[in-house]
Amino acid sequence: MVLNSPKVLILYSPIKVSRGLCTFILVYVDDLLITGDNSKTIVQINALLHEALTIKDLGLARYFLGIEIARSSSGTLLNQRKYILDILFDAGLTAAKPAQFPMAKGFKLSIEEGTLLPNPEAYRRIVGRLLYLTLTRPDISYAVQHLSQFLQAPKKPHYDAALHVLRYLKGTVNKGLFYPKDSGLQVTAYCDADWGNCRMSARSLTGYCVFLGSSLVSWKTKKQKTMAKSTVEAEYRSMSATTSELEWISYILHDLQVPVSLPFTLYCDNKVALHIAENPVFHETTKHLRIDCHYTRDKLLEGFLKTAHVSSQDQLADIMTKPLSESQHNFIGSKLGLMGTPPTPG
């Protein structure tokens, strides 16, 4: 699993690879997770660590760095229920009426409207905690990115929008990411861009989500560094960023001894951007995209990547780039693997 967060650094290291069996230790400060496909080796490593460091073995992982781990016969659910409840308590919203979505469709904030908050630290604290919550809640990725733009001088509309996100979490407190036991190992990705999304800089947003089988393993919402002159340009830069992520994930899967087959499939809902990736004739008319064009196309020629068109309705990365209607937000959330409790086999 790839956990995208600027506040968490998880180091992984293969401890032993023998006869196709692997064991790993995941380390964060003084918290460790030991995992692998050889229970005897795990017991041996536990004993060695205890002898050297006097550790306490807490058994099967149920809670790690604020993430709750619930298992069933069909898979594993990761959520941050307790963390959400703590945020709601600190904000005084434990009895608040739940909201149906994190942000209303078409909703955008600006730096001009509203009055400055007398205590900006309250806003900054909420946004900082929401950033960590995106570890298991990709459905608030866009909202948190949008709110993060106003940390320097937050105003009342910004604070009200942050509270609305908390009210949405109040109604979905039990939701988390479900990883099915029978998920395959084929890597697929969805990428999207919202052209000129930012009201302050007119820059576009890149959003993507990457799946290993049916399990969501990586996702991101990020403002593009330069202004795009067209929707196609914004979409192609999103494709390039997603291609970079896929290449990085391929290295991790290799280190983790996970067998995957190439090519990885990249879904995009912009047909023109797909044509540019596949047809070198287009490159002469898009010289300002030279690096992005050639990088993505090189990966196509190498057989590392293949592109495919997806309808806008089934574009799962939409939830990373814009506020959606309640029905579409819930539909995409379910496709990402968000659910309240681990399902039991029928």
Please, which pLDDT band fits residue 49 given cuts at 50, 70 and 90?
confident
pLDDT value, residue 40: 86
Please, which pLDDT band fits residue 4 given cuts at 50, 70 and 90?
very low
pLDDT value, residue 342: 63
β-bridge partners, 205: 194, 223
Tokens of 65: 């760095």
Q: Is the pLDDT of residue 284 over 90?
A: no
- Look at domain 183-334 and name its CATH class: alpha beta
Average pLDDT, the chain: 87
pLDDT value, residue 37: 81
Domain ranges across the chain = 11-65, 79-171, 183-334
Please give the residue that has the higher pLDDT: either 227 or 205: 205
pLDDT value, residue 7: 35
Residues 340 and 320: beta-carbon distance below 8 Å: no
Whether the model clears a pTM of 0.85, i.e. scores above it, the answer is yes
pLDDT tens digits, one per residue of 298-343: 899 899 999 999 999 999 999 999 999 999 999 999 999 999 876 6
pLDDT value, residue 123: 97
High-pLDDT (> 70) share of the chain, %:
89
pLDDT tens digits, one per residue of 139-179: 999 999 999 999 999 999 999 999 999 999 999 999 999 99
pLDDT tens digits, one per residue of 256-283: 888 889 999 999 998 888 887 777 665 5
Average confidence (pLDDT) over 54-59? 85
